[in-house]
Amino acid sequence: MNQNDAAAALSVWVALESPTNHPAGLNGMMDLVQKDVEGLPIAVERIPGRDGLGDMVLLRAGLDNGQPAVAVMSHLDTVHPVGTSAKELPVRIDGDRLYGPGVYDMKGGAWLALQAFKQVAVAGSAKRPMTFLFTPDEEIGSPTSRGMIEELGRNAAAVLVTEPARLGGKIVTARKGVGRFDVRLEGRPAHAGSRHADGRSAIREAAHQILAIEAMTDYGRGITTSVALMGGGTAANVIPQHAWFSVDCRVTTLADGVMMENRILSLNPHDPDVQLRITGGMNRPPYEKSAMVAELFGKAQKVAAGIGLDLQDCPMTGGGSDGNFTAALGVPTLDGLGIDGDGAHTLQEYALISSIAPRQALMKGLLETI
């Protein structure tokens, strides 16, 4: 397939909007995957969605020799609400850039990896079984796909994740662990004018807690905390009874994850008359560059050199992915094997069309070598 045809085929995937909370869009994406492999020597399993989320598709191909598989993983959900492509981020080509919701994170990577998977399946050039899992819920922490990801990971010799490439084609061999917490506060309502002293403001208490949590950030140690969603109150003249906020926490080691979980879950109210309810925890363990990951990366560098690419990895990144789950199980995992580009999760998101062919060749080489 030439570059124009590849960009056109990928555009079809990008034009079908599939935010995590829109199962119809996700199921449409899963249909596109199934249609793409029709008639090929690839077994297709469709796993119905649950909890209001989309379906999964699991492909199997390659050599049936009883060896552990090489497992590819891609998520087809995006963070962009339905309607984004009609307004702020239309699917369009500008020079080498293909713009659109989720083109970089990660429909581009999913699409090019599927083309490589098909090539290897058709050529019969795999050394072992191959699996390819498409998931609907990575952007919210993979609540319905984590079990399947871990099951496939446990039975795999290596896991290849098609999250976006970084900084000019670098791949990912380490990611921070991610925690999410939900904090709900309940104080006592009162008229803000006539009964001010009787009130116990849930928002004031939230302000204390937010500053305490943000102060746990320790850049030297790679720990960050941020509160990026909050709410509360009912009217400008009522001391607020309720407030809430959510916490994002990132760590570089398993031990720091346990420590931060304890610190956040055991926060006490500053005002004893306000109740504090904290739920959540670490939902993605850190993905550390173990000796096994380094060895797999060395193999990938050789494959890349064979097709004229100088493959580099980037320092531990802050963003988590499904690679965290499999790496934490001790399965050699490479991530960031997707398309090159920039602007993940923004309205300037684009992929570089010229990166499709080399990244597809790299994926094909990995599927044939591992």
CA distance 325 to 283: 9
The contact mask relative to Zn ion for 185-224 (x = CB under 5 A, - = no) is ----------------------------------------
CA distance 72 to 55: 17
- Amino acid type, 202: A
The contact mask relative to Zn ion for 155-184 (x = CB under 5 A, - = no) is --------x---------------------
Which C-beta is closer to Zn ion: that of 29 or that of 106? 106
- Amino acid type, 146: R
State both tokens at 263. Answer: 């610190």
* Part of the chain binding Zn ion (CB under 5 A), chosen from 29-37, 54-62, 97-105, 296-304: 97-105
* Part of the chain binding Zn ion (CB under 5 A), chosen from 101-109, 241-249, 302-310, 322-330: 101-109
User: According to DSSP H, which parts of the chain are helical?
Assistant: 3-15, 23-36, 108-123, 146-154, 202-214, 254-265, 291-306, 323-328, 356-369
Residue 58, classed as helix, strand or coil, is: strand
The contact mask relative to Zn ion for 228-267 (x = CB under 5 A, - = no) is ----------------------------------------
Q: How far is the CB of 163 from Zn ion (least distance, A)?
A: 5
Is residue 137 a contact point for Zn ion (CB under 5 A)? no
Q: How far is the CB of 368 from Zn ion (least distance, A)?
A: 25
Which C-beta is closer to Zn ion: that of 23 or that of 336? 336
**Cβ-closest residue to Zn ion?**
105
Is residue 106 a contact point for Zn ion (CB under 5 A)? yes
Nearest to 315 by CA among 203, 166, 178: 166
CA distance 96 to 351: 8
Which C-beta is closer to Zn ion: that of 76 or that of 210? 76
Q: What is the CA radius of gyration of the chain?
A: 23
CB atoms within 10 A of CB 275: 15
Positive/negative CA dihedral, 115, 117, 105, 342? negative
Is residue 105 a contact point for Zn ion (CB under 5 A)? yes
Q: How far is the CB of 134 from Zn ion (least distance, A)?
A: 13
Which C-beta is closer to Zn ion: that of 97 or that of 175? 175
Interacting residues with Zn ion (CB under 5 A): 105-106, 163
